[in-house]
């Protein structure tokens, strides 16, 4: 199976991104985690991205905050899908990160999830890998059923408390 690489602009992004690691582990998807900055280590960002396909990577997840150019910079040097996670910042609550990540020029797409949307980034990566992997697709179906069961259980509890 191809692996997923999670790249963060700083180790300060790690607490937000931990659900992504957990989700990939839950689906048995091999993954690596790196701290590489579009601004502080731009050469390493280019090197990782340019070599990612040859290194067995299927999807890149890039998380960054503030002037969050990491996902776009990685997308510039690869034809692999890049999923961007805008990290909530203190000054603008993540709107700065969201716009920096999502507003890519035509020709270089970044699939941007919600601010701090680490779990959805991982699920989207799994869904991309599942295009050509029946077992992974089956695991995703089971995950959806489990989510529906959990909502049904909450519904039953609320109805029992408040009637109807
Ligand atoms: C971004 O700046 C990082 O992705 C992080 O979200 C933010 C702050 O980084 P640190 O100053 O905590 O290293 O590049």
Task: Show pLDDT as tens, one digit a residue, over the chain (164 residues).
Answer: 999 999 999 999 999 999 999 999 999 999 999 999 999 999 999 999 999 999 999 999 999 999 999 999 999 999 999 999 999 999 999 999 999 999 999 999 999 999 999 999 999 999 999 999 999 999 999 999 999 999 999 999 999 999 76
DSSP E strands, 18-81: 31-35, 57-65
How high is the pLDDT of residue 15? 98
Question: Tokens 């502080």 correspond to what residue?
Answer: 40
The neighbouring-strand residues paired with 85 are: 63
By the 8 A CB rule, do 4 and 129 touch? yes
The neighbouring-strand residues paired with 32 are: 5
User: Which strand (E) or helix (H) includes residue 82?
Assistant: strand 82-87
How high is the pLDDT of residue 14? 98
Ligand 1: nearest atom to the Cα of 8: 4
The Å distance, Cα 95 to ligand 1 centre, comes to 15
Residue closest via CA to ligand 1's atom 1 equals 65
How high is the pLDDT of residue 163? 78
How high is the pLDDT of residue 130? 98
Instruction: Please report the sign of the dihedral spanned by the C-alpha atoms of residue 2, residue 63, residue 16, residue 10.
Output: positive
Question: 3-state DSSP call for residue 144?
Answer: helix
Nearest to 8 by CA among 24, 25, 27, 32: 32
**Residue among 7, 9, 72, 94 whose CB has most ligand 1 atoms within 8 A, to mutate:** 9
Cβ–ligand 1 distance for 15 under 6 Å, the answer no
How high is the pLDDT of residue 142? 98
The Å distance, Cα 26 to ligand 1 centre, comes to 27
**Distance of alpha carbon 124 from the chain centroid:** 7
How high is the pLDDT of residue 136? 98
Cβ–ligand 1 distance for 65 under 6 Å, the answer yes
Q: How far apart are CA 147 and CA 151, in angstroms?
A: 6
């Amino acid at each position: 199976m191809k692996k997923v690489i999670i790249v963060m602009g700083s180790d300060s992004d790690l607490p937000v991104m931990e659900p992504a690691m957990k989700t990939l582990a839950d689906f048995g998807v091999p993954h690596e985690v790196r701290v590489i900055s579009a601004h502080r280590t731009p050469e390493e960002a280019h090197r990782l991205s340019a070599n990612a396909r040859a290194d067995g990577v299927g999807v890149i997840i890039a998380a960054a905050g503030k002037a969050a150019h990491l996902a776009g910079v990685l997308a510039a040097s690869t034809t692999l899908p890049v999923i961007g996670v805008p990290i909530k910042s203190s000054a603008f609550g993540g709107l700065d990160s969201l716009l920096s990540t999502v507003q890519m020029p035509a020709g270089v797409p970044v699939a941007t999830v919600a601010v701090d949307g680490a779990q959805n980034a991982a699920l989207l990566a799994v869904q991309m890998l599942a295009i050509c992997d029946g077992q992974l697709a089956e695991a995703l179906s089971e995950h959806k059923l489990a989510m529906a069961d959990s909502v049904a259980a909450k519904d039953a509890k609320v109805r029992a408390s408040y009637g109807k």
